[in-house]
Amino acid sequence: MEEDPTASIAQYFKSLKDPRIDRTKRHSLNDILVMTICAVVGGADGWVGVEKFCKAKEKWLRTFLELPHGIPSHDTFGRVFSMLDPEAMSRCFAQWTAAVAKATCGKLVAIDGNPFGLNCHVERNSEDLKSVVGERE
């Protein structure tokens, strides 16, 4: 995928297969992914933390997400992420973060304790980001 620093999160994760059966999808995969990324960047730790963050920021999240059934429970976040293909998720996340790093070269603050994005000429991989989306539960 060509790196487009103006691309939405949805663009970089559209190839990620939603493993849920249609009748159980109350929340879109895009909404779940975006909420989780926002929550983790905002300091959430674990699925309960993701749910709490999203409930606290629901009004803001509704400005750019559909959320027809509100904020998913922490169990829903955990269940959906446990079903995702970890390699595909890692690839999508790495592509998106590479685009963000490219767009913000020299201005990106590390979100996982590592200097990701401080040098846009250095190739990074998903291992550099493991603490951002690491398995917590």
Q: 15-32 pLDDT, tens per residue?
A: 999 999 988 899 999 999
Based on the fold, state whether residues 72 and 120 are members of the same structural domain: no
Read off φ and ψ for residue 135, nearest 5 degrees. -65, 125
Query: What is the pLDDT, as a whole number, of residue 45?
Result: 92
pLDDT at 116: 44
Residue 50 is part of which domain span?
Answer: 27-84
Q: Are residues 68 and 117 in the same domain?
A: no
Give how many domains the chain has, as a whole number. Answer: 2
Mean pLDDT score of the chain: 79
Angstrom distance (rounded) from CA 102 to CA 121 = 9
Last residue of a domain, one of 64, 84, 104: 84
Do 31 and 55 fall within a single domain? Answer: yes
**Is the CB of residue 137 less than 8 Å from the CB of residue 47?**
yes
Average pLDDT over residues 4-18: 79
Query: In this structure, are 58 and 94 located in the same domain?
Result: no
CA 122 to chain centre: 22
Output the pLDDT for position 97: 84
Q: Is residue 79 part of a domain?
A: yes
Rg of the chain (C-alpha set): 15
Q: Are residues 71 and 104 in the same domain?
A: no
Q: Is residue 20 part of a domain?
A: no
**Entry pTM:** 0.74
